[in-house]
Chains A and B, each alone.
With several copies, the nearest count.
Chain A
Amino acid sequence: MDITTELEGNILIARLAGELDIETVQAFREKVVPETERPGVKTLILNLNKVSFIDSTGIGAILGRYRFLEKKGGKVLLVGLKAPVKKIIKMAGLLEIMPEYSSEEKALNEIGEGRIA
């Protein structure tokens, strides 16, 4: 799993590539979790465009960030879900609590226009 993160003001963008499972969730914990814990960070845009596989461990990691940010009044936005990944995320009920966008730009626009914040 390759992970890069970028801070845009109070918005954290995390881009994941590869398979998110019990092996690679470790990288998520090391690279994404501490960034969401920075003071001020409320919104996480999770770009899963290059994620080809996810299972319940990956779902657990995303949900963990959602719960953490929700307490701070924040949100998690999902970007670029491939069909197999989307199926799992949907079945787990995540799409009911996290909006989904086709690109980072669209997600950023929504936040900018204050619909989500």
Chain B
Amino acid sequence: MGNHAHISMLSRSNNVGLARLAAASFASELDFTLNELEEIKVAVSEAVTNCIIHAYPLEEGIIEIDMRIEGEELIIVVEDKGVGIEDVEAVLQPNYSTKEEHMGLGLAFIDSFMDRFELSSEPGKGTIVQMYKTPEKLKNRKEAIS
């Protein structure tokens, strides 16, 4: 059975570092390069920051971070019970942000740095970001074999 760890924490700016470090530490069980671990840190940082800024803009809420290893794949799910997203298609466009002073880079970074990610949301209920990543080394090995 693959490894599993779960973090629940308040949506406070000073908890983002904790989430990022925990994710990198958890991920290091797989054969990720330092470079890939940095990418995972950025992706988790963006997902958690979005919960703080967008999901719970007025009052603190709980952020759930679920981390699993299934086979050779890292699966990180960041979930909030915040405001949710009206138009999921729209926010997936690069440089799209519903906040004027923001740049819409967060989801684009997640998209670049993880193998794939899924965004699901219900207005008034909350948002779930599911992120998947397998070590490059392993992908290359598999290609070499096949």
Residue contact B38 to A56, C-beta cutoff 8 Å: no
Contacts of B14 in A (CB 8 A): 23
- Please tell me which one of the listed residues B35, B42, B101 contacts residue A55 in the complex, with CB atoms under 8 A apart: B42
Q: A22-B49, A53-B45, A56-B46 are in contact. List 10 more A-B contacts (CB 8 A).
A: A23-B13, A23-B17, A53-B38, A53-B42, A55-B106, A57-B49, A83-B35, A84-B35, A88-B109, A92-B105
Tell me, yes or no, whether B102 is within 8 Å of chain A by CB. Answer: yes
Pairs across A and B, CB under 8 Å, 29 listed? A21-B20, A23-B13, A23-B14, A23-B16, A23-B17, A26-B13, A53-B38, A53-B42, A55-B109, A56-B46, A56-B49, A56-B103, A56-B105, A56-B106, A56-B109, A57-B49, A59-B105, A60-B102, A60-B105, A63-B103, A64-B101, A83-B35, A84-B38, A87-B38, A88-B42, A88-B109, A91-B112, A92-B103, A92-B105
Question: What CA separation (Å) do A59 and B45 show in the bound complex?
Answer: 13
Which A76-101 residues have C-beta < 8 A from chain B? Answer: 83-84, 87-88, 91-92
Q: Is B41 an interface residue (CB 8 A)?
A: yes
Q: Which residues of B contact A91 (CB under 8 A)?
A: 109, 112
Q: How many chain-A residues does the 8 Å CB contact rule pick out?
A: 19
Report whether A22 and B35 are in contact in the complex, using a CB–CB cutoff of 8 Å: no
Nearest Cβ distance between residue A97 and chain B, in whole angstroms?
13
With a cutoff of 8 Å between Cβ atoms, the chain B residues found around residue A84 in the complex are 35, 38
B95 to chain A, nearest CB (A): 10
Q: List residues of chain A with CB within 8 A of the CB of B102.
A: 60
Contact present for A21 and B45 (CB under 8 Å): yes
Taking the nearest CB of chain A, how far is it from the CB of B54, in angstroms? Answer: 12
CB distance from A58 to the nearest CB of B (A): 10
Question: Chain B: which residue is nearest A91 at the CB level?
Answer: B112
Kindly state whether residue B53 has any CB partner on chain A within 8 Å: yes
Contact of B49 among A19, A21, A83 (CB under 8 A): A21
In the complex, A63 Cα to B62 Cα: how many Å? 30
Q: Contacts of A19 on B, CB cut-off 8 Å? A: 17
